[in-house]
């Protein structure tokens, strides 16, 4: 593959980022870095996306594209001589926490369970009309 000026720029910023941080340059951070270098990547790429461009142009002479095993949108660039893999996260904590919540018979009780976790000072600031609670109770 021929090293075009834009590929050379990507190679340079990828190496520079790796040396400074010892981690991949995420594609989501690339537009800001290129803007700081006054590179208009959209003009270079036309209708092609940045992701498809780096996947198409990556090789042993430029940079490697790595993708997170769980979070597919997390894509990074590393120098070609670097062996790096994203660590596979365990299940996100929020999802497991939601599964630990006991099922409730209706929305009104669910709301009261949530409100019961607030301290007294915060509870004093909350006003819920009884008609709203009655509607929540009847919905199921």
Among the three residues 63, 78, 93, which one is the final residue of a domain in this structure? 78
| Residue 72, domain member (yes or no) | yes
- How much is the pLDDT for 1? 54
Whole-number mean pLDDT of the chain?
Answer: 82
Question: Which portions of the chain are predicted below pLDDT 50?
Answer: 93-96, 98-99
Predicted model pTM: 0.59
Written as one string, the DSSP assignment of the chain is ----HHHHHHHHHHHHHHHHHSS-EEGGGHHHHHHHTT--HHHHHTTS-HHHHHHHH--TTS-EEEE-SS-TT-EEEE-TT----PPPP-S-HHHHHHHHSPP-SSHHHHHHHHHTTS-HHHHHT----HHHHHHHHH--
Residues 117 and 63 in one domain: no
Provide the residue range defining the domain that includes 117.
101-138
Q: What is the tens place of the pLDDT at every residue in 18-31?
A: 999 999 999 999 98
């Amino acid at each position: 593959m021929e090293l075009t000026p834009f590929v050379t720029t990507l190679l340079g910023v990828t190496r520079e980022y790796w040396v400074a941080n010892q981690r991949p340059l995420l594609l989501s951070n690339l537009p800001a870095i290129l803007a700081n270098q006054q590179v208009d990547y959209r003009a270079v790429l036309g209708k092609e996306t940045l992701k498809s461009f780096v996947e198409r142009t990556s090789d042993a002479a430029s940079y490697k594209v790595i993708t997170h095993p769980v979070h597919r949108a997390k894509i990074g660039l590393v120098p070609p001589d670097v062996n790096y893999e994203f660590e596979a996260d365990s299940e996100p904590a929020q999802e497991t926490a939601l599964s630990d919540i006991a099922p409730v018979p209706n929305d009104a009780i669910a709301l009261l369970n949530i409100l019961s976790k607030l301290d007294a000072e915060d509870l004093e600031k909350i006003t819920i009309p009884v008609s709203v609670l009655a509607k929540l109770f009847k919905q199921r």
